[in-house]
Structure 1
Amino acid sequence: MGQSPEPAAARPEQLIGALIPPATRRFAPLAPLDLPVLPRLDLPADAPFESFLLDVARLDASGRFSARSLLTTLAWSPGHRVDLRVGTDVVVISSCVDGRQAVGGRGELTLPVSARALAGLDREGWIVLVAIPARGALIVHPPALIARLLTDYYGRQPGPDGRIHGDD
């Protein structure tokens, strides 16, 4: 009789070359890119309060929001072309003849997911809108920015003893 085959446990394992991916070179991680610097709106420090119109809106799952009263003030009707510029805690929407975005038929605007992520806007969250008709701009901020600004403002107000908190 012939030899019986070795049990599977006794045979050494062999790797099959076609199933093993080739070694890859690992590159050093890229340095993070800086966000673009938004152009200054060059508003005078003593600009009257009436120069700014404020509103809040809620983003839907697709990044759309409605701001009909502000769009009416800006004279942006359905089909009006706009362009977006994104920065930290801000999206600046301005009129642009060849803009990539347009005001929707029901007076809504859409913020792409990339713009929402870069500007720190929550998905399906509230946004704070600032319209500046003299500049033809609609500015979108996350509520957290406004809360931080107000916290700083109220923190600089004198307390009952006349001292400003933090001036110890």
Structure 2
Amino acid sequence: MNSLAESISLYTSRAAMKLRRQHSVARIIQVYIRCSPYRSGDAFYGNSLMAALPMATDDTRVLVKHALAALKRMYRPGFNYAKAGIMLTELQPKSGQQRDLFAPNQDAKSGQLMTVMDIINNTMGRDTLQLANQGFKRPWKMKQEHKSPSYTTKWEDVLTVS
């Protein structure tokens, strides 16, 4: 469960950062997990759960909290999980967001914190500042030993002729 929770937390954090970059908020988060259908001898299980947020948000902490709650509800021990992910839906511009009249207004402090996190991660490198539940070693991370160079998207991979 820990590696699934770490991956869901990381993916949710990255999605929240992209929401903020687009000046958008999300109202629904969908979490999915599944086992590999190609492993012979292993039982298959896959599930997906949508969680409606009380209010549309781009706050990483709120999104991760709801994503992990959804994961906890659908997780079954004893399965060899191979894939996990999240999707954000009901996206809307942050400026046109409908507010709850009776909800406490935490947007100012939350927005400042998320802005600081994004600035630090943009200047110091991705995942420099992250939530603790995203993990550090990430043994579940995709293996990329045989990955082709990214000549068209990374300056470091462009060949130099001298």
TM-score, reference length from structure 1: 0.24
Bigger proportion of residues as helix: 2
TM-score by length of 2: 0.24
